[in-house]
């Protein structure tokens, strides 16, 4: 979901020392939340004034609720100020610290360059940002986090305003770069058009995601397709209503059928709704589709939470002055089932 967030209040991020990688304790499907904040602000803005990584308090809250993963948005330009060049050491340290805190709380981490397939507003696979530059980003990230199975590589947030035929070569170049450095981590591959599940098989400009993105090539055969799905009238997640909740759930069912037909895996990287009763039911119904198909879905992550999101944000599940947000009622049935069946996620097994 594309939003512009301006934050002027500085909050203090609790910093823990970076810890070494630890083995992932289980293979439960990912049941997660987007902890947003590091993608906020203008490039050049100061950390904890223009943008922020999740605090220890926020991480602890969601871990205690039973979430087992976090999708962690950040800005490519901050991490790599110049294409094909070394990462900014201070920003990498901030990212490492956040990752270490999440892992310490036993949360799997989905790294999410939240850039909409642009770098300084220039599209990937265009004259200013060639596919080799995008591959270089992922070569460096993969080398840094290689074979830590608590780390999942989400290639890019919501490519849009480009055909799938332009995006596919960039995705494949990044995947190849990841595998060339020996990283076996799970990779999440979005489509274009904000990677909407509802439009996955629509024949838009440059071909449907459901056709073009079958051209993904992963030498390690360890990837899943990432889709997003909202509940409002235009499926954008920007309106205070959920008038198309039934259609949104049906879109996830249809996408599940596509996954099964093509022997592929999926990840629901964003979904969210306001806190009204019918909206909460839509959330629960959507998660139920994913949970009932663990052979096809590696998991889900609700949008959104994070230290700087205001209580007035309609999709927000960051706890407020009155405590838990109502949307949690649609998620909690799936967060504390520690049965053997729940711990087994067939789609996360080695392929």
Query: Which residues have a catalytic role annotated?
Result: 158, 270
Phi, psi for residue 209 in degrees, rounded to 5: -50, -40
Q: Are 48 and 13 a contacting pair, CB within 8 Å?
A: yes
Q: Are 186 and 226 a contacting pair, CB within 8 Å?
A: no
Q: Are 241 and 274 a contacting pair, CB within 8 Å?
A: yes
Quote the CA–CA distance of 50 and 6 in Å, as a whole number. Answer: 8
Quote the CA–CA distance of 59 and 64 in Å, as a whole number. Answer: 9
Residues 6+ apart with CB under 8 A from 168: 212, 213, 215, 216
Residue 351, Cβ density class (10 Å: 0-12 exposed, 13-18 middle, ≥19 buried): exposed
Quote the CA–CA distance of 131 and 228 in Å, as a whole number. Answer: 24
Quote the CA–CA distance of 298 and 31 in Å, as a whole number. Answer: 9
Phi, psi for residue 288 in degrees, rounded to 5: -60, -40
Tokens of 166: 């332009």
Classify 57 as helix, strand or coil.
helix
Quote the CA–CA distance of 191 and 165 in Å, as a whole number. Answer: 10
């Amino acid at each position: 979901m594309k939003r512009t967030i301006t934050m002027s209040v500085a909050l203090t991020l609790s910093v823990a020392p970076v810890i070494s990688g630890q083995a992932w304790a289980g293979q439960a499907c990912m049941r997660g939340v987007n902890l947003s904040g590091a993608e906020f602000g203008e490039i050049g803005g100061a950390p904890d004034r223009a943008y922020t990584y999740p605090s220890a308090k926020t991480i602890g809250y969601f871990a205690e609720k039973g979430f087992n993963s976090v999708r962690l948005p950040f800005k490519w330009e901050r991490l790599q100020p110049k294409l094909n060049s070394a990462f900014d050491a201070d920003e990498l340290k901030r990212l490492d610290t956040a990752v270490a805190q999440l892992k310490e709380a036993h949360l799997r981490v989905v790294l999410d360059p939240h850039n909409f397939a642009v770098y300084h507003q220039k599209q990937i696979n265009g004259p200013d940002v060639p596919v080799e530059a995008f591959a270089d980003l992922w070569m460096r990230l993969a080398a840094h986090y290689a074979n830590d199975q608590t780390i999942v590589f989400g290639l890019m947030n919501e490519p849009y305003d480009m055909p799938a035929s332009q995006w596919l070569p960039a995705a494949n170049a990044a995947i190849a770069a990841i595998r060339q450095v020996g990283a076996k981590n799970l990779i999440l591959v979005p489509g274009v058009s904000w990677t909407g599940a509802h439009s996955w098989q629509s024949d838009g400009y440059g071909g449907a995601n459901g056709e073009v993105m079958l051209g993904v090539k992963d030498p390690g055969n360890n990837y899943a397709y990432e889709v997003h799905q909202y509940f409002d009238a235009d499926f954008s997640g920007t309106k205070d209503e959920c008038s198309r909740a039934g259609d949104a759930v049906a879109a996830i069912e249809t996408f599940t059928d596509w996954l099964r037909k093509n022997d592929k895996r999926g990840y629901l990287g964003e979904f969210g709704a306001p806190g009204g009763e019918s909206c909460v039911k839509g959330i629960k119904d959507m998660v139920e589709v994913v949970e009932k198909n663990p052979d096809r879905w590696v998991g889900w992550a609700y949008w959104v939470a994070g230290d700087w999101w205001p209580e007035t944000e309609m999709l927000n599940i960051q706890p407020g002055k009155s405590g838990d947000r109502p949307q949690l009622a649609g998620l909690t049935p799936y967060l504390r089932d520690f049965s053997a069946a729940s711990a087994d996620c067939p789609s996360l097994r080695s392929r």
